[in-house]
Amino acid sequence: MTISRDEESRKMRRVSSNPEETRSIGAEFARNAPAGMVLSLIGDLGVGKTEFVKGLALGLGIEDQVTSPTFTILHEYRGGRLPLFHVDFYRLRAEMELDEIGFDEYLNAGGLCAIEWGDKFANRLPSDSMKILFSIDAGCRREIVW
């Protein structure tokens, strides 16, 4: 795992070589995450967004098995320092579907909200949401930048 800080842009950059490292980065991130934080996870299929969320759960002390909410749209995990709300916008077609799942209630529930494909309905996210960008480099390593 490589750690660097781009001083010019003030962004943090992590490079992961495997799923375990991606989970470790997520766990480290979650240890100091404040209540109410919203993360917009952006990147193509298979870049490690769900593995990162598994790490968030570990860092919060959540023992439940974390799975992708692609088909269910939202998973809620409790039992840790903060609740974790894992949302996936990938299969949503219209913004009004967010109202049907009570999306705004989760944003205001005092947990950590991690939204895969968060750029799809970015206008529905709080202005202080943190974008976390995931990509794969030429060596098949995952780059995670926030």
Query: Domain residue spans in the chain?
Result: 2-145
What is the SS3 assignment for 16? strand
Using CA atoms, how far residue 12 sits from 29, 133, 139, in Å, is 11, 10, 20
pTM over 0.75: yes
pLDDT digits (tens, 9 = 90+) for 58-113: 999 999 999 999 889 999 999 999 999 999 999 999 999 999 999 999 999 999 99
pLDDT of residue 41: 98
Using CA atoms, how far residue 6 sits from 10, 128, 138, in Å, is 6, 20, 20
Tokens for 59? 């860092």
What stretch of H or E contains 107?
helix 103-107
Instruction: Give the DSSP letter of residue 108.
Output: T
Give me the chain's average pLDDT, please.
94
CATH for 2-145?
3.40.50.300
pLDDT of residue 139: 85
Lowest-confidence pick of 4-8, 20-24, 64-68, 109-113: 4-8
Measured distance CA(96)–CA(20) in Å, rounded: 36
Measured distance CA(77)–CA(50) in Å, rounded: 14
pLDDT of residue 10: 74
